[in-house]
């Protein structure tokens, strides 16, 4: 296993961008599920499910904010461009 010290700065920034993109997608999916739950479920089931989703969204937001602190604003990476044909 390699350590962070063995990672170049650009690789570290790329890793951060990938992680932040993943967290953004996860948050969007959870928020979409909240909307679906609000439309479909009954009251007792809905409250429990919404509480769990809220905790999930808060955890994702916490991780996003934490990792965002390490991003170098001068490092430019377009994730979509990076993985396109």
79 lies in some domain: no
Q: Is-contact 37 49, C-beta < 8 A?
A: yes
Total-model pTM? 0.78
Is pLDDT above 90 for 29?
yes
Note whether residue 65 is domain-resident. yes
Tell me whether residue 24 is in a domain: yes
Structural domain contains residue 30 = yes
Structural domain of 31: 20-72
- Residue 7 in any domain: the answer is no
Give how many domains the chain has, as a whole number: 1
4 in any annotated domain? no
Q: Let me know if residue 54 belongs to a domain.
A: yes
CA dist 83 and 85 (Å) reads: 7
Per-residue pLDDT tens over the stretch 31-59: 999 999 888 867 777 888 999 999 999 99
Does residue 81 lie within any of the structural domains?
A: no
What was the pLDDT predicted at 82? Answer: 74
pLDDT at 76 (0 to 100): 84
How far is 74 from 40, CA to CA, in rounded Å?
Answer: 45
């Amino acid at each position: 296993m390699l350590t962070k010290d063995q990672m170049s700065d650009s690789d570290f920034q790329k890793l951060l961008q990938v992680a932040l993109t993943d967290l953004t997608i996860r948050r969007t999916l959870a928020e979409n599920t909240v909307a679906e739950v609000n439309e479909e479920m009954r009251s007792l089931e809905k409250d429990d499910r919404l509480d769990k989703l809220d905790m999930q969204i808060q955890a994702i937001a916490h991780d996003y904010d934490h990792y965002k602190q390490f991003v170098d604003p001068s490092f430019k990476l377009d994730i979509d461009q990076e993985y396109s044909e």
